[in-house]
Structure 1
Amino acid sequence: MTFPQISSSLATSNARVANEPATNVYAPASQTTALLQSGAQFRRERIEAADMISTDDAAGVAGTTRVTINAWIKAGRCIGVSNLRRGFRLPSWQFEPSIWPAIKNISANLNTNDGWRLLAFLETPREALDGRTPRAALEQGAAIERILALATAEAH
């Protein structure tokens, strides 16, 4: 059995690239440096945002101690991101009744207690949520099961 010969500029281009030795496969150091600097700048800005509070303030909001807040962060029960100076900063909105009960399960389904990863998950718009963030979806009454399914999918 013979198959028809397919010819396209894309196929020719791909074949040529596949047969040529790889050159410039890595980003230049200047691009890598710029990317790392923009990430660090984003983190600084996010830590300093108005909705971020100290562990002492979080303890006051939650009616507990700073030591308990730190234990919750370590266990993934609470979102805390490393402060550049020392300690943690926490998004105050996580203590809202629509969010607080979900944090522990989201952490478990994402298989992480890393505050940046939890924060990014909750603040990134999702197609599956009609462009809303998981945080906004929870605040608007979305089923926790839907958010947990997205967390599980992202973890894999």
Structure 2
Amino acid sequence: MTKDIYATAAQAAALLREGQKYRRERLRAADMVTVEEAGLIMGVEGSTIAAWISGGQCIGFDDPDGVVRVPRWQFEASAWSSIRRIGQSLGTRNCWQILDFLETPTPALGGLTPRVALEQGVPVARVLAVATAHAH
């Protein structure tokens, strides 16, 4: 007898609920700021931040209240110039996929998350190579 490798409808629904819970919690994390707050950090208007999100230059998310939130850390020098290239290497502009990649530890970076690796000075080219491998 072979074991069924597919999730049941109930298991799939439970996974989707957990994903929604994770997203709500992540949007309310202390490192998430509004586009207006990000604009103050970067010295630009909030509309510029919104345009950057649309263009794939930075990552941002609509929260359930209709407010766009962005991770503050992406505006640090170690990450800022890399967000678009990481998305390109991953083959996506989906902000959740990019964030997941950046915040998930990987053996390819000695167990660091790509975000922490960048903060610690790992060359961007190395992180991009990991992103490309991750995409395939």
The two structures have a TM-score, normalised by structure 2, of 0.92
Aligned 8 A contact 1:76 1:112 in 2: no
| 1:60 matched to 2:40 | yes
Matching residue within 117, 124, 130 for 2:110: 130
Q: Which residue of 2 aligns with 1:142?
A: 122
- Write the mapping of 1:45-124 to structure 2, written as runs, cut at 5 A: 45-124=25-104
Q: Which residue of 2 aligns with 1:5?
A: none
Q: Classify the secondary structure of the residue corresponding to 2:93.
A: coil
Q: Which residue of 2 aligns with 1:40?
A: 20
Q: Classify the secondary structure of the residue corresponding to 2:69.
A: strand
Q: Classify the secondary structure of the residue corresponding to 1:151.
A: helix
Q: Where does the alignment leave 5 or more consecutive residues of structure 1 unmatched?
A: 1-15, 18-22
Query: Aligned pair in 2 of structure 1 residues 62, 32: CA closer, same or farther (>3 Å)?
Result: same
Q: Which residue of 2 aligns with 1:27?
A: 7
Query: Aligned pair in 2 of structure 1 residues 25, 95: CA closer, same or farther (>3 Å)?
Result: closer
Alpha-carbon separation, structure 1, partners of 2:110 and 2:79: 19
Q: Where does the alignment leave 5 or more consecutive residues of structure 2 unmatched?
A: none
Q: What is the aligned length?
A: 136
Displacement after TM superposition at 1:93 (Å): 0.5
Alpha-carbon separation, structure 2, partners of 1:25 and 1:124: 25
Displacement after TM superposition at 1:111 (Å): 2.1
Q: Classify the secondary structure of the residue corresponding to 1:99.
A: helix
Q: Give the superposed CA RMSD.
A: 1.6
Displacement after TM superposition at 1:30 (Å): 2.0
Q: Which has the larger radius of gyration?
A: 1
